[in-house]
Every structure is written in C-alpha cells, then in structure tokens.
C-alpha cells in the first residue's frame, strides 16, 4: 500500500499531472514545520514526508501539502533551533583521531560548565570511508591496489595464513589497522559558554580505545581465556584481550562509568564457539576488501572471536584506567544497556541482542548496592547470574537462568508453523565436538535432541579436574549465550535494540526495531504482532516492561507502549525505533534505524521523535529532527538542564556515496489522508550526501551535533 515505485521522472510527472518546470520550482522548497506555533514541548514539530493525525491539516490540506515533496541532505531541526557541529570523523583526538560512524553518546558532567562526551564508533561504511579517508585523515591508503590484488581471490584472503614477508599481508594489515583505529570508543571534553557547547581540544581527559587497544575481562569467561588446552583456537596472546569494536549503543551507571555495547562483531571475527567456549580459527572469518565490503578485520591479527560481543565498562574521568569486558553480562550482539541500582538491592543490568530472533537479557548481582553512586558498585558486575526473558501472550513472562542446571526446553518448529512460518529451531550443534549451531527442522528432531541433552550442563560439560573447570563451564555458557538461550526456551524477539529505565515509574522501556526474518530466524509471532495481527511487522515497537523483582526466575509484565508504522496502518508515523532516551522532564525520545536505503521508502530519512509524557499531545509522536541522506541518527542524550540535545549523525551517504552536483532521483509513494483516501506523492530524493560540508563532490563524514534554541532559552517544560 505504501511501497515506493522507482519510476522515470517523466512518468512520475505524468502520473501526477505536473509540468516539469513548475514541479521543479515547487519541490525544492524543503520540508515545513507543522502547526502555527510552538508545540507542547516548546518547539514546533517538523513535518515528516507523510501525513500524521496531529499535523493540524484537514484531509484536503494533507493531500495538497504532501502531494509533492523533496528530501534534504541536511539535518533539519525545528524553527528557532540550531544544530552546531562539535566533532567529525578525522578530527584529532588523544594522539589518534575521532573515529568513524559515531553511535552512542554519554555526557558526564564536570565542574565549571564542563562535561565529558563519550562516543562509540560502530563500524566502517566502505564506500564513504574509502572515498573520504585521504581528506579526513591526511594520509593515503593502498585501497585500490589491495582491491586489485584480492580480485583473483574473490576479494578475500585468510591473512593469518600468509607468510610474514608476503607483500599482500603488509597491505592487508595497513588497511585493517587504519580501520581498527576508526572503531571503538572516544572521550572528549566540552565547555558550555553563552548557552553553547564547544569542544576543548587537548584536554587531559581525551582518550581513544580502539580495535587493538589492550583491555581486560572479568567473570567466568576469563577462565575460558586462560585455558591452556582449549578445544578450539586460543590465539597468540592467550588470556590477553585486544580492543573493542562494533560499539553500538550503551548506557551510563549511577557511579559515573559508561557501558559500551559490542554489537555486530560477527562481521569482523568468527562468532561460533566450541562446547568449552573456545573460538573457531580466524580462517573462519577471512579478511575481505572488494570495494563494497570491508570485513574480517580481526583476521590479520589472529583475534579470537570469543573475545568480542561483550559489554565494556570504562570511566571517562580516568583515562589511564583499563576498560573491562564484563563476561557475566553475556556474549551476544549487545545493543543497549539499562542499569538499576537501588540501595540495599542487587544490581540489575538489562541488555538486548540485536538480531532477528535475538533475546532480552538481565544480569542480577550476587552482592547488593550500598550507595548507588559509589564506584565500588562496579565490582558487583563481577559476580551474579545472567537471565533471559521468556515472554508469554497476554502480557506476562518470566526470567530463565543461564546456568548449567537449567533444563532444555527450546521452542518447537510447530509453534511457528501455526502462523504460516517455516522456522527451524537453532541450537548448539548436537555433536559437541563441533562448533556453532544446528538447525532442527521438526519437533521430532528437537525432541530427540532434548533426549540426548537434558540440561545446559550436557551441552557445556565440565572439562578437566582443575580448580577452574566449573568456572570455565559457566564461562562457556555465557560466551555462547544466544544459542544457550535458544536451548532453554527464551523468546525469539524482534531485534531488541535499546533499553532505558523510565525515571518516574522505574519500568524498563525496550525498542524492538523490526519483526523481520534473518538467517537465524525471526521473532515469535505470538508476542510480536502488527496492529492487524501481522506476524512479520517491519516497523517495530517500544515495549514497557514492569519487572517483578530480582529473585531467581521472577516474573514480569509487559505491554506495547508505541507501535511503528504509518498512521493508516495503525502506527504513530515513525518506523524502526532504535535508540531511546528520557529528557529531564520525563518525555521519551526515539531515533529511528532503518536501512541505509531508508530514503527510498515512504518514511524518508531517519529521524528523531519525542513521545510527550502528558498534555494534549500525549499518545502522539512528534518529529523533532530529520537526518541527512542515508544517515541514521543515534545516541540521543541531554545535558542536565535539558537545554541541549546531542545527536550522532551516522553513515551519511552510505548507500548513495558522495553527492555530485544537485543529483536527485524521482520517486512515487502512495499515501493516505486522515479521511482514508489514498493519493499519490511525487518525491525528489538527493543521490548521495555531502553532509556536513554541503559542498557538492565532497565526501560525507559522520559527526556529532549539539541542538539547542538559538537564543539559548529553556524549551522543555518541567525543567529548569
């Protein structure tokens, strides 16, 4: 009903009955703000490229307003606001540089109107990274020569098997080291003056933790890394860990540290592990550079895959303190983290695994919190238990413990068959001498599997009789958390991307980005259903979860707080909620994460929305910012008084590359007005991006912006 049609400009103009010159003149005026004055949150909401119930227009006005439109290759903010660029890829930082594809942002206040900004650097967008590297960094890379050298090898090579004196290895390592230097975590200092934040360069707090920086590990997985005789690959460093990458979302702790989530690490190292938690060989994820993909960055350095996929804690105020990967929080494709620290109670940490069919997890500490702000609380992350959510229809659920004694109870294929979905059950490989997963196609196969393996202890046995043998067993379960969770019957979820705690109710808010399908299956259609009962709802939800306490196996309640999708489908007007944040007044902010080709669909560019907590606009989604072409807006966070919203602009131009001149393409979209009448929209979309420079032919760069009122005034009601 709302699919884009890639039609020629002539056909589109004929379709809508527009003349070429008149159409061009009317379409290049950009997007307008909705309404006549400031909205309930002190700003005039932007109009996204589709009609909304709260846009203040009649059905006829919606057809007139939205019949023709052009998207912008710039960051759009409400009237009276300014988005000031703080830092971009390539800027000098702590002896290195500000990395690529900035994601999660955390603001740590200091004295004298200063603050530390911690930034995640998630991954490399090959096209824009390659085209802009020389300008951003100032030194060339042998990218063309390497691509040519790898062409005969189908674009990839197992660099770990190349002789040390092979010229190809030298080129591979040069490119891989440059990419690793653009990943990980950065810390920089900001100063607020005259209502605006500016970067203080050369601060003693500046820091870069990149893909090859030494880090350490806490918890049971460290015993696995110390194992001198693993079933699989150990690596030349033994128990030593190098680097962090795929750093996507994150969170802050009440004691002032930052947690950084390693998400899609499987693109750079092998994800599969053996029954003892040891890694598969680096050859399982070879280095690749073919001009469109830059993968396997861990291969040239022999990095063990089980060292990645963790939650990393660091203190931005202590630049010399080594970052820690806390293995009790589990190894999976971490996206987001939310921390609950109440005096006298165990520490609870929530996180999600962002894959189709991933799970929602929580860690519960053995010890109890004394004072939430006490830095000693960090030690609570070193002992506890990891649990995973099993949702039940009707709004309830319970936590399952990932420990050796837990019995296997995987979801059967027949459950999905009732919804017309053919989905095998993915479990740790039944031959425990082999690594990775096994797909079981029938209930009979699953039942036979469970007869051979009744508990997690059967899948992850105690190997050895040394003092650390049982600790290694628990470590192996944590390292293989996703498949272990499948085995005990955790609910396959709809890409849980972010988690945040409601500051007024204590509830957990979870962004489930999309109920699509992937190689590992998809979300449970008994839980994740669209407004009309759709089993594969591609636009996502925000869920509210009320936890029932920290006891082992505790129950919880849940309900959907907001649903993505077009209004005529039953959604709020945005699609694919990703990062969440609460402002100081308690309103919920959402950024969207659709694919890099998002500008091709009816929702246009990725955007930032707010769901007002109260007032006339409660229950609506108001659009606050719209990103440049092909970008994703990430890491929303506010300063203490709510005057400034910080946003990361990630991967502009990722699909279209560098925009040349004023190149655009024409699209046709079917929309529906508030009366239910369908109409056609003609839309012009820039081809590629030049953000933030706006200079045609100049490569786009990721960067971080600070958004505030131009007059510096307070704008969020309920803050001061």
DSSP of 34-72? SSSS--TTSS-PBP-SS--TTS---HHHHHHHHSEEE--
> Is 209 within 8 Å of 323 (Cβ atoms)?
yes
* Contacts (Cβ under 8 Å, ≥6 apart) of 608: 589, 590, 591, 592, 623, 624, 625, 626, 627, 633, 636, 645, 647
**Rounded Cα distance, 539 and 304, in Å:** 35
Task: Work out the average pLDDT over 269-283.
Answer: 98
User: Residue 432, Cα to own-chain centre: how many angstroms?
Assistant: 32
DSSP-assigned letter for residue 406: P
Beta bridge partners of 339: 349
- At residue 33, does pLDDT exceed 90? no
Confidence (pLDDT) at 431: 97
61-65, 391-395, 596-600: segment of lowest average pLDDT: 596-600
**Rounded Cα distance, 447 and 445, in Å:** 5
- Which tens digits make up the pLDDT trace of 581-636? 999 999 999 999 987 555 678 999 999 999 999 998 999 999 999 999 999 999 99
DSSP of 334-368? EEEEEEE--TTSEEEEEEEE-SBT--EEEEEEEEE
Buried b (16+ CB within 10 A) or exposed e, 197-218: bebeeebebbbbbbbbbebebb
- Which tens digits make up the pLDDT trace of 372-392? 999 999 999 999 999 999 999
Task: Work out the average pLDDT over 660-669.
Answer: 94
> Is 316 within 8 Å of 106 (Cβ atoms)?
yes
Q: Which helix (H) or strand (E) holds 133?
A: helix 126-137
DSSP-assigned letter for residue 531: T
Number of H helices, E strands in the chain: 12, 40
**Rounded Cα distance, 47 and 547, in Å:** 36
Mean pLDDT of the chain: 93
**Rounded Cα distance, 299 and 282, in Å:** 5
Phi, psi (rounded to 5 degrees) for 160: -65, -15
Confidence (pLDDT) at 2: 34
- At residue 580, does pLDDT exceed 60? yes
Confidence (pLDDT) at 11: 34
Confidence (pLDDT) at 37: 59
Confidence (pLDDT) at 336: 84
147-156, 231-240, 404-413, 503-512: segment of lowest average pLDDT: 231-240
Supply angle C-alpha 349, 352, 358, rounded to 5: 145
* Contacts (Cβ under 8 Å, ≥6 apart) of 521: 356, 357, 423, 424, 426, 492
**Rounded to two decimals, what is the model's pTM?**
0.94
- Which tens digits make up the pLDDT trace of 129-175? 999 999 999 999 999 999 999 999 999 999 999 999 999 999 999 99
3-12, 403-412, 619-628: segment of lowest average pLDDT: 3-12
**Rounded Cα distance, 523 and 525, in Å:** 6
Confidence (pLDDT) at 236: 81
Task: Work out the average pLDDT over 545-562.
Answer: 97
- Is residue 575 exposed (0-12), middle (13-18) or buried (19+ Cβ within 10 Å)? buried
Confidence (pLDDT) at 23: 27
- Which tens digits make up the pLDDT trace of 319-333? 999 999 999 999 999
Task: Work out the average pLDDT over 20-33.
Answer: 33
* Largest distance between two CA atoms of the chain: 82
Residue 238 pLDDT grade (very low, low, confident, very high; cuts 50, 70, 90): confident
Task: Work out the average pLDDT over 241-246.
Answer: 97
Percentage of the chain beyond pLDDT 90 is: 89
**By C-alpha distance, which of 122, 85, 86 is closest to 101?**
122
Token pair listed for 260: 């950084």
**By C-alpha distance, which of 425, 450, 428 is closest to 437?**
428
- At residue 26, does pLDDT exceed 70? no
- Which tens digits make up the pLDDT trace of 166-214? 999 999 999 999 999 999 999 999 999 988 999 999 999 999 999 999 9
Residue with the bigger pLDDT between 37 and 155: it is 155
Task: Work out the average pLDDT over 404-432.
Answer: 97
- Which tens digits make up the pLDDT trace of 87-105? 999 999 999 999 999 999 9
Pairing of the two strands 156-157 and 184-193: unpaired
Phi, psi (rounded to 5 degrees) for 12: -65, -45
Residue labelled with tokens 């095998």: 424
- At residue 3, does pLDDT exceed 80? no
The residue ranges of DSSP E strands in 12-166, in sequence order, are: 68-70, 81-88, 92-93, 96-97, 102-109, 114-121, 156-157
- Which tens digits make up the pLDDT trace of 437-474? 999 999 999 999 999 999 999 999 999 999 999 999 99
């Amino acid at each position: 009903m709302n699919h884009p049609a890639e039609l020629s400009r002539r056909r589109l103009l004929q379709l809508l009955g527009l003349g070429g010159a008149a159409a061009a003149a009317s379409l290049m005026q950009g997007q307008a703000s909705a309404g006549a004055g400031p909205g309930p949150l002190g700003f005039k909401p932007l109009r996204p490229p589709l009609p909304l119930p709260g846009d203040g227009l009649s059905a006829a006005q919606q057809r007139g307003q939205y019949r023709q439109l052009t998207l912008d290759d710039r960051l759009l903010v409400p009237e009276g606001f300014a988005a000031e660029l703080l830092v971009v890829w390539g800027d000098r930082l702590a002896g290195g540089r500000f990395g690529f594809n900035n994601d999660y942002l955390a603001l740590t206040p200091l004295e004298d109107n200063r603050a530390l900004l911690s930034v995640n650097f998630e991954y490399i967008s090959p096209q824009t990274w390659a085209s802009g590297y020389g300008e951003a960094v100032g030194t060339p890379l042998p990218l063309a020569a390497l691509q040519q050298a790898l062409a005969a090898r189908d674009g990839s090579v197992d660099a770990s098997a190349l002789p040390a004196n092979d010229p190809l290895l030298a080129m591979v390592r040069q490119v891989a080291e440059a990419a690793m230097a653009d990943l990980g975590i950065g810390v920089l200092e900001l100063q607020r003056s005259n209502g605006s934040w500016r970067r203080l360069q050369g601060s003693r707090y500046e820091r870069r933790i990149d893909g090859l920086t030494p880090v350490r590990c806490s918890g049971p997985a460290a015993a696995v890394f110390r194992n001198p005789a693993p079933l699989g690959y150990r690596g030349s460093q033994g128990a030593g860990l190098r680097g962090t990458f795929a750093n996507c979302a994150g969170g802050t702790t009440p004691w002032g540290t930052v947690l950084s989530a390693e998400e899609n690490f499987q693109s750079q190292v092998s994800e599969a592990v053996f029954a003892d938690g040891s890694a598969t060989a680096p050859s399982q994820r070879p280095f690749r550079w073919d001009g469109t993909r830059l993968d396997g960055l861990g291969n040239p350095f022999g990095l063990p895959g089980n060292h990645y996929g963790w939650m990393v804690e660091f203190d931005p105020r202590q630049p010399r303190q080594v970052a820690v990967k806390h293995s009790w929080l589990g190894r999976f494709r971490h996206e987001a983290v939310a921390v609950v620290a109440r005096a006298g109670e165990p520490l609870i940490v929530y996180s999600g695994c962002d894959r189709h069919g991933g799970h929602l997890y929580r860690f519960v500490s053995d010890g109890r919190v004394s004072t939430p702000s006490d830095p000693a609380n960090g030690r609570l992350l070193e002992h506890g238990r990891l649990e995973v959510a099993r949702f039940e229809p009707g709004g309830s659920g319970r936590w399952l413990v990932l420990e050796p004694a837990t019995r296997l109870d995987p979801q059967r294929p027949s459950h999905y068959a009732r919804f017309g979905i053919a989905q095998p059950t993915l479990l740790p490989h039944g031959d425990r001498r082999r690594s990775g997963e096994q797909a079981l196609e029938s209930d009979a196969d699953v039942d036979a599997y469970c007869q051979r393996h009744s508990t997690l202890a059967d899948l992850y046995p105690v190997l050895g009789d040394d003092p650390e043998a049982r600790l290694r067993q628990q470590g192996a379960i944590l390292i293989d958390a996703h498949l272990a969770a499948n085995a005990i019957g955790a609910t396959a979820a709809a890409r849980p991307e972010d988690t945040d705690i409601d500051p007024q109710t204590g509830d957990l808010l979870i962004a489930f980005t999309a109920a699509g399908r992937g190689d590992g299956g998809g979300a449970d259609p008994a839980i994740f259903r669209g407004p009309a009962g759709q089993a594969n709802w591609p636009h996502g939800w925000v869920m509210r979860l009320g936890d029932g306490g920290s006891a082992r196996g505790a129950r919880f309640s849940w309900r959907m707080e907001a649903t993505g999708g077009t209004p005529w489908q039953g959604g709020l007007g945005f699609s694919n909620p990703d990062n969440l944040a609460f402002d100081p007044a308690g309103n919920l902010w959402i950024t969207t994460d659709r694919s890099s080709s998002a500008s091709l669909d009816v929702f246009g560019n990725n955007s930032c929305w707010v769901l007002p907590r109260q007032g006339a606009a409660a229950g609506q989604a108001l659009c606050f910012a719209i990103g440049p072409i092909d970008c994703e807006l990430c890491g929303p966070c506010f300063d203490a008084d709510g005057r400034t919203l910080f946003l990361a602009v990630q991967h502009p131009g990722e699909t279209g590359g560098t925009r040349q001149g004023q190149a655009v393409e024409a699209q046709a979209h079917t929309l529906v007005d508030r009366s239910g009448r369908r109409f056609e929209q003609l839309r012009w979309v820039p081809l590629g991006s030049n953000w933030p420079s706006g200079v045609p032919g100049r490569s786009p760069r990721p960067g971080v912006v600070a958004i505030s009122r131009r007059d510096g005034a307070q704008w969020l009601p309920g803050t001061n």
